[in-house]
Each structure stands twice: as C-alpha cells, then as structure tokens.
Amino acid sequence: MTRILLVEDNPQNMKLASVILRKAGYEVIAAADSDEAESSIEAQVPDLILMDLGLPGKDGYTLTRELKRRPRTASVPILAVTSYAMKGDEAKARDAGCSGYLAKPIDRLELLRTVRSLVETDGDGGGP
Ligand code: MN
C-alpha cells in the first residue's frame, strides 16, 4: 500500500485531504508540524509527502529543503500544498525541491490525479 505522509497544521484541511486519500486506497499518516513529520519519517520513510508550506515553527519550504538534502529522503516526492494564492509560490516550492504544487482549497480530482502521477513514477508499483 502506498504510504502518504500528510503534513498540515489546519485540522479541517487535514481531515479533508486524509478522507479523500484514504477513500482512494492510500495509507495516510498525519503530522501537524515539521517536528511530527520528522519523527514520522524517522520511524518510516513514506512513499510521498503532501507538504503544507505554511506551518507553525519550521515551514514547509525549509523542511522540504532539508529532506531533499538527506540521502534517506532525497528521492521521496514532495507535493506542495499552499493557501497562499500568491504568484511565485509554485516556483518557490519547486526551487525548494517539491515535485508538484497544489493550491488550496483542495480539489479532490486534482489532488488524486497529482498524487497518482507522483507515486506511479517511483517504480515500486504501489498505489491503488
Ligand atoms: Mn498551514
């Protein structure tokens, strides 16, 4: 089963995204901030990370850059999710090492399509 680490500090957004992903057959692990995300990754490296860029404490850009520098997590695709509808965010996210970008509010089909495209290229044959 494809394991997705969902890093999101907003409980409603977390709930929405995890329901969508679980219904689609993914295993979802929740982390409310960067510290929780790092503990989870330490225990088990996920197949994909959905990264809210606006997090309390260490933000998603910083965490993404750090994960991309570490050999253990460098190849894990990171999908950026942000509510900042600001121009330049996508470029900034890709610059930090994100493989994809989604703007909030989350659109179910767009989320699933993007997630599928990112986990299908990792070669483990996982995913629903
Ligand atoms: Mn946030």
Per-residue confidence of the chain (128 residues) as pLDDT tens digits? 999 999 999 999 999 999 999 999 999 999 999 999 999 999 999 999 999 999 999 999 999 999 999 999 999 999 999 876 666 788 899 999 999 999 888 999 999 999 999 998 545 544 45
Cα(91) to centroid(ligand 1), Å? 18
Domains of the chain, first to last: 3-120 (3.40.50.2300)
Cα(15) to centroid(ligand 1), Å? 13
Instruction: Kindly give, in sequence order, each residue whose CB lies less than 8 Å from that of residue 8, ignoring residues fewer than 6 positions away.
Output: 14, 17, 30, 31, 32, 50, 52, 81
Cα(58) to centroid(ligand 1), Å? 11
Would you state the pLDDT for residue 122? 47
